[in-house]
Amino acid sequence: MNKLIQVLAKSQSAFVHLTRIAIFIVMAWIGGLKAFQYEADGIVPFVANSPLMSFFYTKKAPEYNNYKNPEGKTVQKNIDWHKENGTYLFSYGLGTVIVLIGLSTLLGIWYSKIGLVGGLLTFIMSLVTLSFLFTTPEVYVLNLDGDFPTPQYGFPYLSGAGRLVIKGVIMMGAGLICASDNAKRLIKSKALK
């Protein structure tokens, strides 16, 4: 057990690099998916209900409820509505930003200043994502009734969307760890000069 503890203690910088790689993988994948219609449609409830982001769309919440495309289904009138709303254009821009944040965090392995910015932007992006817990009704199980009343709905019962959002807490911590490591490396490099 002592040997394992020693190996883990000596491997911290490698694990921080692994965290940077993990952030990049998640950001590149999720950001890249923003170029596809189903993903762009899927983020509409978050963006439309957010006081920080809703101005990017031309339509107001909750109008989007009438134009949802379930994943895997394409309805032309819904796509037309999303085009008018600016859904796809916004999604392309957001995807690009997310990929760039992930890339800058990854570059922190070699470039401390870029990595510091990437880690801080990962933290800030995570705060925005977590704000959806307060602004987006769809993050909690909705009371849709049925044959009998919905037994668990509202806070604290996270829906699938809410379970994705809450994972932002992990990304928030990971971004700060990466930023902190880059800051430490910057201080150390200046101390040597």
Mean pLDDT of the chain: 94
What's the token pair of residue 104?
């800058």
Is 171's pLDDT higher than 80?
A: yes
Tell me what pLDDT residue 146 has.
81
Phi, psi at 86, each rounded to 5°:
85, 15
**Reduced to 3 DSSP states, what percent helix, strand and coil does the chain have, rounded to the nearest 5?**
75, 0, 25
- Across 50-62, average pLDDT: 94
Q: What percent of the chain has pLDDT over 90?
A: 87
pTM of the model: 0.92
The residue type found at 134 is F
**Hey, what are 144's tokens?**
């849709």
Could you state, in order of their start, the residue ranges of all structural domains in the chain? 14-192
pLDDT tens by residue, 115-168: 999 999 999 999 999 999 999 999 999 988 788 888 899 999 999 999 999 999
Q: According to the model, what pLDDT value does residue 49 have?
A: 96
Confidence (pLDDT) at 158: 96
Task: Provide mean pLDDT across the span 169-185.
Answer: 97
- Asked whether 127 and 53 are in contact (CB, 8 A), the reply is no
pLDDT attached to residue 190: 85
- Using alpha carbons, select from 125, 115, 111 the residue that is nearest to residue 31: 125
Distance CA 165, CA 143 (A): 20
Q: For residue 55, what are the CA distances in angstroms to 74, 84, 186?
A: 26, 14, 38
Residue 179 has pLDDT above 70, yes or no: yes
Residue range 173-192: mean pLDDT, rounded: 93
**148-184: buried (b, 16+ CB within 10 Å) or exposed (e) per residue?**
eeeeeeeeeeebebbebbeebeebbebbebbbebbbe
Q: For residue 192, what pLDDT is reported?
A: 67
Q: What would the pLDDT profile of 14-52 be if each residue is shown by its tens digit?
A: 999 999 999 999 999 999 999 999 999 999 999 999 999
pLDDT above 80 for 193: no
